[in-house]
Amino acid sequence: MSEAALELEGIEKTYNAGRENEVQVLRGATLALERGQVTALVAPSGAGKSTLLHIAGLLDVPDAGRVGIGGRDMTGAGDRERTRVRRRDVGFVYQFHHLLPEFSALENVMLPQLAEGRPKAEAEARAQDLLASVGVADRAEHRPAALSGGEQQRVAFCRALANAPRVLLADEPTGNLDPATSDRVFGALMQLVRETGLAALIATHNLELAARMDRQLRLDEGRVIAA
């Protein structure tokens, strides 16, 4: 495969709820992301964008097609290898932050690094740097319940980037925020992506946010096309 940070080729996915209720969600979806590129994926609810992101992030397996990360074909990889690559090379951000409530913001950003074997002092230093870069350094010791929605999501961005992944996948990352907070949080996300030079695929309904990205793709009847 190519050296694209992320490459999907001919991805097919059908869900079965009984023979008469087959739903083909993806029909040959193909895309490639380069490092430093921020791409919007625009699609209505139910069009399959979450399925596409899950396959791209090795959380789900396609019925057909190939998935490549950093030039490596992951299609036939076993569970252990998929988990290793996902943990090291892919960052996820969702509409809801999914931070661990019993840990502080700082600890939430440290945990992925500790799971990869990084020394605690290094993990803490990187977590502090990431939190400072999105303007929540003064909230580092607070647990998620004590943070605003925008602060929670900025911490979630930092956690997703803690292990310096090749690829960031975001599913409606500002969809749960009011417009003003959404704009600020999206700005913080774009800053992080630009600073790290990773490839980002961001699913959104917000056409104004999509227009601020490097390019826009649309998921239409299971295929990826230029928006």
Query: What's the pLDDT tens digit per position in 132-148?
Result: 988 899 999 999 999 99
Q: Is the pTM of this model over 0.95?
A: no
Domains contained in the chain, number: 1
pLDDT of 33-64, one tens digit each? 988 889 999 987 777 888 999 999 999 999 99
Report if residue 18 sits inside a domain: yes
Q: Tally Cβ neighbours within 10 Å of residue 100.
A: 12
> The domain that contains 66 carries what CATH number?
3.40.50.300
Spatial contact of 156 and 144, defined as CB atoms under 8 Å apart:
no
Residue 140 lies inside a defined structural domain of this protein: no
Q: Which residues pair with 6 in a beta bridge?
A: 33, 69
**Assigned domain for 60 exists:** yes
Say if 111 falls within a structural domain. Answer: no
Q: Is residue 32 part of a domain?
A: yes
Predicted pLDDT at 47: 78
Domain range for residue 40? 6-100+149-226
Give domain status of residue 36, yes or no: yes
Closest to 33 in 3D by CA, of 192, 168, 162: 168
How high is the pLDDT of residue 1? 45
Is the residue at 70 inside a domain? yes
Ramachandran category for residue 127: left, alpha or beta (phi over 0 → left; psi -120 to 50 → alpha): alpha
Phi and psi torsions of 22, nearest 5°: -70, 135
- How far apart CA 110 and CA 130 sit, in angstroms, is 10
